[in-house]
Amino acid sequence: MKPFVKRQKNDNADAEAIAEAALRPTMRFVAVKSAETQGRAVAFRTHQCLVRQRTQLVNALRGHLAEFGLVAPKGPASLKMLENALEDEATDLPRPVREMGTIYLGQIARLAEAIKQLADELEAASKTDAQLRRLCTIPGIGPVTAGAVSAFAPDLDTFASGRNFAAWLGLVPRQRSTGGKTKLGSVSKMGQTDIRRLLIVGAMSVIRWVVRKGGSPNRGLAALVARKPKMVAAVALANSER
């Protein structure tokens, strides 16, 4: 709208700019989401919020215990190690630290249970919905990523090709071309952040599997992983999976 606003900003000028912008033949419009789609978005946001809270609590517990010489690796997988250290009477920990650690563990357990419940609901939805079921057949895409695409992406028929969808997600290079000279930079990072992040995370899991197995039936992917950094290969794979 801003290019169509004349001089000063006021209600009349804004209304005229909206009307002028709506008449442009190449203007893109945001479709109104249904209540069901918004409900899926709320479920996804809640799942991601709980995951962030669990990560925050695990990192806080790791940091507190590290002050007493109990160092554990990052991630929820190390939680059992911290739990055993708190329960071990031979560990030289003050009583308040053990009590606070118990509170942390209780909160983490409740969050983990809620996260599992939401993940199970997303997985059940992916088995009944035909579109979600097709998305889950793509390597690196699970129920959570499929649910994010269904909740946040517009009608896929609005995109002329998968390349346009990748551009909407920000998985294509940023262009700074002029005078017939093409200049491409890093990925633009435009569009929907959650879908882009989940696609790259899923692509990284596929690439880790390729590295661990020492190869892949997809020769193009194996060659890409061999000659490019992992994150570059992950972005390229996410671009090809869109």
Question: By mean pLDDT, which of 110-114, 158-162, 230-234 is the weakest?
Answer: 158-162
Distance separating alpha carbons of residues 28 and 20, to the nearest angstrom? 13
Q: Quick one: the chain helix, strand, coil %, rounded to 5? A: 65, 5, 30
**pLDDT number for residue 241:** 66
Distance separating alpha carbons of residues 213 and 189, to the nearest angstrom? 31
Q: Tens of pLDDT along 2-14?
A: 788 888 888 998 9
Q: What is the dihedral of CA 210, 211, 214, 216, to 10 degrees?
A: 20
Tokens of 181: 């000279």
Q: How far is CA 160 from CA 16, 156, 164, 187, in A?
A: 31, 9, 6, 20
Q: What is the percent of the chain where pLDDT is above 70?
A: 99
Please state the pTM of the whole predicted model: 0.75
Distance separating alpha carbons of residues 209 and 98, to the nearest angstrom? 38
Distance separating alpha carbons of residues 139 and 205, to the nearest angstrom? 9
Give the end-to-end CA distance of the chain in Å, rounded to a whole number. 30
Alpha-helical runs (H) found in 93-142? 95-128, 130-135
> Domain map of the chain by residue range?
1-30, 35-138, 153-171+191-242
**pLDDT number for residue 242:** 61
Q: Tens of pLDDT along 117-132?
A: 998 888 888 888 888 8
The DSSP secondary-structure symbol of 170 reads T
